[in-house]
Amino acid sequence: MKNYSDLSDAEKHSLLNKYYIKENKSFQQIASMYHTYANKIRRDAMKFGIKSRNKSEAQKNALESGAHKHPTKGTNRLDSTKIKIGKGVMKSWDNLSEKEIAHRKQQAKNKWNQLSDHEKQHRLNLANQAIRNSSKVGSKLEHFLLKHLIKDGYKVDFHKEQILSNTKLQIDLFLPTMNIAIEVDGPSHFLPVWGEEALKKNKKYDQKKTGLIIGKGLKLIRVKQTHNFSRSRSLVLYDKLLLAIAKIQDSVTKSIEIED
């Protein structure tokens, strides 16, 4: 193998096409092969009009190729550490500017538009199935709240049918000793996830259910889930729920809404 400095421009261009573009090797890997410096390879790539991978692309490529190990893969973290990291991520998202949020939404939209029709339909089918399963067995957030309420000593009926004015309706979470109903409303309750007509039906159904619950003399806490489930965000929400339970229990207030 020739030294890199002995190669002609045509030979350099050819090896960059082979190793950098086709085989996804890094400048450092190519430099090691030819006993030279990564910056020299990088400068030649620029000269030949070969676009360098950005940091994110380079890291992804290094992990996929096995050149680098994932820094956290296989690491067992304490729950307290996971919660701290999750809250940090949650805070950073909450502090994003409107411009950055719009930018990220557009990026997500672009990725979706780049999918094939087959892949789009596959993902929609999975989403529909997940929603059907959630309606039968409860969402992740419902199970999370159930687990923590029981852990804190509350008696909870989960998705138990309640006789409300001769109708059998399930209340997501019911605290029978306190006569408090808790309804967890996902995005389809307040956004046109399945279209405007479906949203109108959901809102009408929720209004009817609210009337029946309050009409039976129960108190109602509606939990509005505006984000995808995360343990850190759910812990913050659970604190809000405990405050809402304490507030509505000793109050003339009939219903309260909280949001994640």
Q: Sketch out the chain's domains with CATH numbers.
A: 4-65 (no CATH), 79-136 (no CATH), 137-259 (3.40.960.10)
Nearest by Cα to 258 from 183, 158, 166, 178: 183
Alpha helices in 152-230 (DSSP H): 196-215
pLDDT in tens, 153-193: 999 998 877 666 666 678 899 999 999 999 998 887 887 76
Low-confidence ranges of the chain (pLDDT < 50): none
pTM over 0.75: no
E strand intervals along 35-164:
157-164
* C-alpha radius of gyration, the chain, whole number: 27
Q: Rounded to the nearest 5°, which phi and psi values hold at 89?
A: -65, -45
Which residues 6+ apart lie within 8 Å of 238 measured at CB? 144, 145, 148
